[in-house]
Amino acid sequence: MTSMNRTDIIGRVNELATLERCYQSKEAEFVIIYGRRRVGKTYLVNEFFSDSFAFKLTGLYKEKTAGQLKNFQNALSDYGKTLKKRPKDWFDAFSELKSLVIEKRKSNHDKKIIFIDELPWLDTPKSNFLSAFEAFWNGWGAQQDDVMLIVCGSATTWITEKLLHNVGGLFNRATQRLYLLPFTLHETELFLKSRRIEWNRYTITQLYMIMGGIPYYLKMLDSSLSFSENIDRLFFKEKGMLWNEFSVLYETLFGRSEIYLKIISTLAEKKSGLTRDEIAEKGKLNKNGDFSKALKNLADCNFVRTYDTFGKRGQTIYQLSDYYTLFYFRFIKSGAGKDEHFWSHSMNLPSVTAWMGYSFEQVCKDHLPQIKEAIGIDDVLTYTCSWYGSDGDSKAQIDLLIDRRDQVINLCEIKFSLSEYNISNDYEEALRRKISVFRNATKTRKAIQPVLISTYGLQSNLHSSLIHKVVSFEDLFA
């Protein structure tokens, strides 16, 4: 069986290796690929297999059952099986798919790749799609050692609830689950270079703080324009490509998205995050099963980051962490279409400076492996969290703590600046006070080592010796 591996795909090293193993295996394979909308699920499969499919289908958004079945009929025809009329139901449709694969087996002895994209959109009300899909795989596909079924979809909640957490006939049937993450800073840089966009790392970091590592967004950049010109064109020009992305994003991911939007908008008002009870109270939401499910789904899709407060395991904090969503609430919601050069005109405003500081914190939290490697603790077991509290006299808040098994706690200070960060006398005193409050309040006996994470590192002066380790964004690009 010929290798399908593609070396020209940016990143996705582990995912490519998994797809290759499944393709080369001598057993039936059922691969579920899921993740945030626009993250590149379809692109990965199409590029890896180079259209070497036995059958490929893409579900239709908000189409009724009849239309979905007609689309299925057309796809069968594209791959060599012409039907005189549309399948009468999904059981009939999957029976025809089985017949198609058996027919292809006569002339092709390689693995038969069945790719169903946007699978959740096929599951229309009262269509019995899931029952037919289950019967197809359990009753036939799982016994065919030359069949590889790949499914994915934008509706991540459907994938999670109907497939990954299925308690019926599809329970634990998937042979591989691939959760596709956004690009890292390093992968984003490689992607931009592949499109002849040669920006420095400071600019790429700013870009990441707006778009994250979402390939679909990055692909929209125009190499002939500057960074600011691109942001204005995509986000603030009337009817720009990403002007109305927000509503489409949440509706396609979560279907009836009202409760999700309430949670997101509530979290957008508190950068340090909120507890479950605080979200319900501030968002005027009932703490019922739908609320709990929505919180879990948002966390599963990486739109919300969850972590415990140091010393208070079980007190979960929910923090909005999706870059596009954060940028939308801060600037796009009120500014899109009003000034086509809004971003170019606003770069020096205090509101933009404050946003940069907060968003850079999110970048750091999404690159913890790189930070650990730069500190020299990549092989040490760690627990990452936040902390806020008081020792009776003073209050302190720490956005990033790395609690290490080797009896050390790294207290991370994160600063986004245009040059090497300069620690003043006042800042040194404030940091020493923060450390003292934390030690007194938590009664920890571990050594506390301050770490500075900044864009260009630390300027050496009389006060810089307090910092144990320095991490720059060059380390984040590792």
Judgement on whether residues 290 and 216 belong to the same structural domain of the protein: no
Judgement on whether residues 385 and 452 belong to the same structural domain of the protein: yes
Yes or no: say if 145 and 28 are a contact pair by the CB < 8 Å rule.
yes
Judgement on whether residues 381 and 442 belong to the same structural domain of the protein: yes
Task: Give the chain's end-to-end CA distance (angstroms, integer).
Answer: 35
What pLDDT was estimated at residue 310? 80
Distance of CA 148 to the CA centre of its chain: 26
Choose the final residue of a domain: 162, 180, 198.
180
Quick one: which of 189, 169, 325, 162 has its CA closest to 249? 325
In a domain, 3, yes or no: no
Yes or no: say if 450 and 468 are a contact pair by the CB < 8 Å rule.
yes
Q: Any idea what the CATH number is for the domain that residue 305 is in?
A: 1.10.10.10
In a domain, 455, yes or no: yes
How far apart, in whole angstroms, are the C-alpha atoms of residue 395 and residue 375? 27
How far apart, in whole angstroms, are the C-alpha atoms of residue 164 and residue 289? 19
Q: How many other CB atoms are there within 10 angstroms of residue 409's CB atom?
A: 24
In a domain, 4, yes or no: no
Q: How many other CB atoms are there within 10 angstroms of residue 275's CB atom?
A: 13
Judgement on whether residues 26 and 106 belong to the same structural domain of the protein: yes
Choose the final residue of a domain: 161, 180, 199.
180
Number of compact structural domains in the chain: 4
Low-confidence ranges of the chain (pLDDT < 70): 1-7, 255-256, 313-314, 335-337
What pLDDT was estimated at residue 336? 57
Judgement on whether residues 37 and 147 belong to the same structural domain of the protein: yes
Judgement on whether residues 387 and 446 belong to the same structural domain of the protein: yes
In a domain, 6, yes or no: no
How far apart, in whole angstroms, are the C-alpha atoms of residue 359 and residue 325? 11
Judgement on whether residues 70 and 207 belong to the same structural domain of the protein: no
Q: Any idea what the CATH number is for the domain that residue 62 is in?
A: 3.40.50.300
Judgement on whether residues 164 and 232 belong to the same structural domain of the protein: no
In a domain, 330, yes or no: no
> Phi and psi of 470, rounded to 5°?
-120, 130
Specify the pTM.
0.91
Judgement on whether residues 19 and 126 belong to the same structural domain of the protein: yes
What pLDDT was estimated at residue 313? 66
In a domain, 331, yes or no: no
In a domain, 7, yes or no: no
Owning domain of residue 84: 13-180
What pLDDT was estimated at residue 7? 60
Take residue 439 and report the two structure tokens written for it: 């030690």
Judgement on whether residues 224 and 304 belong to the same structural domain of the protein: no
Give per-residue pLDDT as tens, 49-86: 988 999 999 999 999 999 999 999 999 999 999 999 99
Q: Any idea what the CATH number is for the domain that residue 412 is in?
A: 3.40.1350.10
Choose the final residue of a domain: 260, 295, 325.
325
In a domain, 5, yes or no: no
Judgement on whether residues 283 and 417 belong to the same structural domain of the protein: no
Judgement on whether residues 111 and 151 belong to the same structural domain of the protein: yes
